[in-house]
């Protein structure tokens, strides 16, 4: 099973600042990585797939990068609606499909 590790667990950022979230895989997942955003009481929403492709309707301030075992989600200028928990998920080697433990982006 591929273990996904996200860091930091919590990221405190001021509105308008850049946020950089990390996701590491225990073995290479190529570019088969997705990012999701989850707000309290809501279902996760797909942001990024293929490590760097934004899903339909996702603002350009969200960008993904990386391949192999190291990945980054960058939010270039945090808006109030971006404060949420973010999860990465690998789909290179399954079953099982696996998620990271999440990074909570909170208001500084």
Partner 1 sequence: QVQLQESGPGLVKPSQTLSLTCTVSGGSISSGGYYWSWIRQHPGKGLEWIGYIYNSGSTYYNPSLKSRVTISVDTSKNQFSLKLSSVTAADTAVYYCARVALVWYFDLWGRGTLVTVSS
State the residues that interact with partner 1 by CB under 8 A: 1, 32, 34, 36, 42-46, 49-50, 55, 87, 89, 91, 94-102
Q: Which residue has the tokens 């079953």?
A: 95
- The answer to whether the bond into 94 is cis (omega within 30° of 0) is no
Nearer to partner 1 among residue 65 and residue 77 (C-beta) = 65
Q: In angstroms, what is the minimal distance from the CB of 91 to partner 1?
A: 4
Closest CB 102 distance from partner 1, rounded Å: 5
Where do we find the tokens 């990012």?
35
User: Cβ atoms within 10 A of the Cβ of 51, count?
Assistant: 22
Q: How far is the CB of 64 from partner 1 (least distance, A)?
A: 12
Q: Which is nearer to partner 1, 16 or 57 (CB)?
A: 57
Q: Of 51 and 75, which has the nearer Cβ to partner 1?
A: 51
Q: Which of 32, 69 has the CB closer to partner 1?
A: 32
On whether the CB atoms of residues 8 and 104 are closer than 8 A, the answer is: no
Tokens 């808006």, located at residue: 79
* Cis? peptide before 108, omega within 30° of 0: no
């Amino acid at each position: 099973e591929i273990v996904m590790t996200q860091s930091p667990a919590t990221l405190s950022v001021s509105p308008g600042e850049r946020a950089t979230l990390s996701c590491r895989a225990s073995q290479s997942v190529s570019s088969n990585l997705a990012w999701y955003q989850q707000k309290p009481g809501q279902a996760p929403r797909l942001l990024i797939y293929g490590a760097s492709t934004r899903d339909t309707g996702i603002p350009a301030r969200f960008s993904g990068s990386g391949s192999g075992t190291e990945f980054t989600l960058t939010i270039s200028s945090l808006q109030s609606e971006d404060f949420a928990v973010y999860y990465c998920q690998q789909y290179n080697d399954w079953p099982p499909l696996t998620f990271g433990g999440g990074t909570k982006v909170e208001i500084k």
